[in-house]
A and B are shown apart, each in its own frame.
Chain A
Amino acid sequence: MRKSIYAALIAASTLLAVQSCKKSGSSSSTDNSSSFDNKGMLTNISTNIILPAYTSFQTATVNLDAAVSAFNASPDNTKLLALQAAFQATYKQWQAVSVFEFGPAETATLRVNVNTYPTSVSQISSNISSGTYDLSTFANLSAKGLPAMDYLLFGLGADNNSILLMYSSDITAANRKAYLAKLSAEIKAEAAAVLTGWSTYKATFDNSAGVATGSSTSLLINQLVYDYEILKNYEVGIPAGVQSMGTTFPTKVQAYYSKMSVQLAILHIQAIQNIYLGKSAQGDGPGLDDYLIKADAKKDGTSLNTTIQNQFAAALAKLQGLTDPLSDQIKTNPAAVTAAYTELQKLTVLLKTDMTSSLGVLITFGDNDGD
C-alpha cells in the first residue's frame, strides 16, 4: 500500500519534471507549441488596437474642447462649423473605444458617461436655464456626454444660423455656452483619465492570461458581446421598433441630430470586427479569429471562424445598405432597417454562444460556481 502511494507520487513528479523541462526548453520558440498564444493576442490588441484608439479619442476630445472654447469666445458660423466637425470626429472615434469597458474605462464608467442616449432635451434645458447642476448625478447621465452635445450643436434650430442665435442673442446664451464647455471639459477629462490609466493597466491586461472569469480574455469577450448588443439594440433595434410591438422610435437613434447614425453604426461594427480579427494599422495580428482556429471550432461542420467572418460581412453589408439619416429611413423603409437588425441578430448568437462556448469563456457579468 505504501508502495503504491510512492509509485503514484513518483509517477506524478516525473510527469511534472518532464513537462517543466520541456516547457523551459521550448519557451524561446513562440508559436510552435499547440497552445494558443493568449498573451500574444492580448498584447497585439492592447498595443495595436486599444491604446491607439484611446489615444485618438483623447486627441479628438482635446480638439473638441478647444473648438468649444474658440466658439464660445466668439460664436460665428465658421467656428460653429469647425466645432461641429470636431464633434463628429470625436463621436466617430468613440465608436472605436466603446467596447473596452473594463480596467480604467470601467473605473470611469466611461460608456454611460460619454454616450447615454437618447439625450433628454428637457433635462438639458432645465440645467441651462437654472445654471446650476451637478453633472455627476444619475439624472444628468442623459443630459451630458456626446448625445447632449449632439443636440446642442445640431438640434437647437433648423439650420446653423438659427443655432448660432441660441449662442448669441438668446437670453440663456451665456448659460448655454457654459454648459457646452462643461460637457466637453468632462469628456476631455474622462478620456485623459482612461488613457493615463491604460499606461499602467496595460501590463496587467497583457499578463492576465487564461480565460477564467476576470481574466483579460474573458473581460474582452464579455464586453465585446455586451457592446455588440448595444449596437444591435440601441443603434438599430429599439429605434426600429423591434422591441416595442412595432412602434418605432426614430428619435432614439444614436446621433439623431447630427444625422450620422448609420455612419457611426458602421464604424462601430468595424471596430468590433477588427478586435475579433486582431487587425490594426500594423496589420492582421493575433485575434479571436486565430483563437477559434486554434481551438478548431466548428459550426455545422464548417469553420466557426469562417461563419463569423461571413456574418460580419453580411451584417456590415446590410448596414451599408442603409442611408443617413437613419431616423428617416426607419419611417420610409422600415423593412431595410429590420433586415439589418436580423443580420445583426445572427451575429449575436455566433459571438455570444458559439465563440464563447468554443473557447470555454463564460458569458457572465458576475461570478458563480459551476459543477
Chain B
Amino acid sequence: MTEINTSKHIAPLAVLRIAFGAIMLISTVRFILRGWIDAFYIHPKFHFTFYGFGWVKPMGATGMYALFALLITAAIFVTIGLFYRTAILIFFLCFTYVELIDKTTYLNHYYFISVMSFLMILVPANRYFSADVIRNPGIKTTRVPAWTINIFKLQLVLVYLFAGISKLNHDWLIAAMPLRIWLPANSQLPVIGGLLSKLWIAYVFSWCGAVFDLFIGFLLLNPFTRKPAYLMVIIFHLVTAALFRIGMFPYIMIFVTIIFFSEQTHLKIISLLRKILPGTAGEQETQGIPYALPVSTRNIIYAILILHFTIQALLPFRYLLYPGSLYWTEEGYRFSWRVMLMEKGGTAFFHVKDPETGRQSEIINAQYLTPFQENMMATQPDMILQYAHLLAHEYQKKGIKHPVVTAESYVTLNGSGSRLFIDSTVNLANEKETFDHKKWILPFHRK
C-alpha cells in the first residue's frame, strides 16, 4: 500500500500548514472587518440551527469577539507551527462551532474549511520548518508515512469530482443555467464584458466548468499533467473570483491545491521561505527521526479516516433517497459540494391564525429575521419550518393556544418564474423536522 505507508518527505505537509494557516488568518480578519460577527451572530434574534444541533447557541457580543480573537490566534499558531496540534484543534472546534450556529451562512467553502482543519488535526504538520521544531528539536522529522499527505489529495479530488458530478444535469449542461443569468450580470466588465452577455459563452463556461471540476483532481495527481493543471486551477478560480461573489473560496483552493506538487517543489518553496524569513534559521539542518505512531494510535486514526472518507463518498448521494427535484426541495443538498448551481430566489409570506376566533395575521418577517435570513429562509423548506415553529411559539406566548401557521412562499429556480413553493394550507406548527421527505413541498414542474 504505497499510498499509505511509503515514507515520504514531510515538506508538503509543512507547506500545507503554512498555506492553510495563512489563508485562514486572512479569511478570519476579512470576516471581522466586514462586520459579519455582528451581522450574522450578534444582531439576529433568532438562529436557524442545523437539525440535531439546536443546542448550539451564539455567545453574545463579548464571547463572539473573543472567539474570533481565538480563531485568529489559532490561525497564526498553525501558520508558524507553534503548539500546532492544540492550535489546529482549537481552530477546528471554534470554526465549526461558528458554522453550526446558523445555517443561513452555510457555504460549501466553510464546510470545506471544517473538513480540512479536521484532517489536519491528525497529521504531524509541525515536525518540520516550524516554531515547534525550534522550540523542541527532538520532534523534528523529515519522513512521514504517505497517508498523512495523501488524505488531503483524496479530499480535494473528492471535492472537485463531486462538484463536477453535480453539474451533470439538464439545467447546467442543456439550459446553461444559472450562468446564462449570472454572466450577463457582469457585462460591465472591461474587455470581456460584451462577451459575457452572449448565450454561447454561458454554454462554454458551463461545459468547461463541468469538465474542469470532473477532471482537475486527476490531472493534479498525475505528475505529467500537474503543472498545466495547476495553471488551470489558478485561471479557473481567478475567473470565478472576478465574476461571482464567492469571497475567499477561490484563493483557498489555489492555496491548498499546492499539496499536489512533488516533494522537490515543496522543498524549493521552503528554501525560498527560509531565505525571506530570517527568523526560521534557528531550525537545525538535521534529518530528525522518522515519524512513527504507536500501532494503537495509528489504528484509531485509520479507523477515523476510513469512517470519514466513507461518509464523504456517500453523503453527496443521499439526495437519491428523496423524491422530487433536488434543487427545488434541497433535501440532501448541503454538504455535497454543490456550488454555483442555482439561481433561486423567493418571497415568503407567513400567516398565523387563531383557530378559536378565526382571525389571522400576516407576519412582518423583519420583526424576527434579518433580511439575509429572510432571503435564505424563503427558498429552503427546513428553514421555513423552523421559522414557522418560532412563530407558533411566539404566538403561544401572546396567548393563542394552538396557532395555525401557514407559509405562502413564491420561489423562482433557474429562471422558472416564481410559483408556490410549499402547500400554503398546511399548518406548519404541526409538522415535525425529520430526515424524511417533507410532503408539503409542492412538486416542481417546469412550464
Contacts and interface: CB of A to CB of B under 8 A. Distances in A.
Indicate whether A and B interact: yes
Interface of A: 1, 4-5, 8, 12, 16, 19-20, 22-23, 26, 33-36, 38-39, 209-213, 215, 233, 237, 242-246, 295, 297-301, 304, 345, 348-350, 352-354, 356-371
B375 interface: yes
Contacts of A242: 361-362
A38 B195 CA distance: 15
A215 B224 CA distance: 44
Given A1-B224, A349-B410, A352-B347, 17 more contacts: A5-B228, A23-B191, A26-B194, A34-B194, A36-B184, A212-B185, A212-B245, A243-B363, A244-B361, A245-B361, A300-B417, A345-B349, A356-B345, A357-B343, A359-B185, A363-B345, A371-B339
Interface residues of B, number: 66
B418 A245 contact: no
B194 A371 contact: no
Nearest to B197: A35
A311 to B, nearest CB: 12
Contacts of B371: 363-366
B198 A34 contact: yes
A212 to B, nearest CB: 7
B186 interface: yes
A298 B417 CA distance: 6
14 contacts: A8-B231, A16-B192, A26-B194, A33-B197, A35-B184, A210-B188, A233-B364, A245-B357, A246-B359, A349-B418, A350-B418, A366-B39, A370-B245, A371-B249
B224 A354 contact: no
Nearest to A237: B362
Interface string B348-371: 010010100101111110000011
B335 interface: no
Given A1-B224, A299-B417, A300-B417, A349 B192 contact: no
Contacts of B352: 245
A360 B248 contact: no
B187 interface: yes
A16 B194 CA distance: 11
Contacts, number: 159
A353 B185 contact: no
Contact of B36 (A211, A298, A368, A370): A368
B318 interface: no
A369 B249 contact: yes
A205 to B, nearest CB: 14
Contacts of B363: 243
Nearest to A297: B415
Nearest to B367: A243
Interface of chain B: mostly helix, strand, loop or mixed? mixed
Contact of B246 (A301, A352, A366, A369): A369
B362 A243 contact: yes
A5 B410 contact: no
Contacts of B302: none
Interface stretch (B104-112, B139-147, B268-276): B104-112
B228 A367 contact: no
Contacts of B364: 233, 243
Interface string B181-225: 110111111011111111000000000000000000000000011
A19 B412 contact: no
Given A19-B194, A246-B360, A369-B246, A353 B181 contact: no
Contacts of B34: 367
B372 to A, nearest CB: 6
B170 interface: no
Contacts of A26: 194
B54 interface: no
A345 B196 CA distance: 34
A33 B189 CA distance: 14
Contact of B418 (A299, A359, A363): A299
Contacts of A354: 345, 412, 417-418
Nearest to A226: B371
A367 to B, nearest CB: 6
B227 interface: yes
A363 B374 CA distance: 10
Contacts of A371: 107-109, 246-247, 249, 339-340
A305 to B, nearest CB: 12
B244 interface: yes
A245 B359 contact: yes
Interface string B410-438: 11100101110000000000000000000
A318 B354 CA distance: 28
Contacts of A360: 181-182, 184-185, 343
A1 B372 contact: no
B249 A353 contact: no
Interface string B90-112: 00000000000000010111000
B381 interface: no
Contacts of B36: 368
A353 B339 CA distance: 21
Contacts of A366: 39, 370-372
B184 A210 contact: no
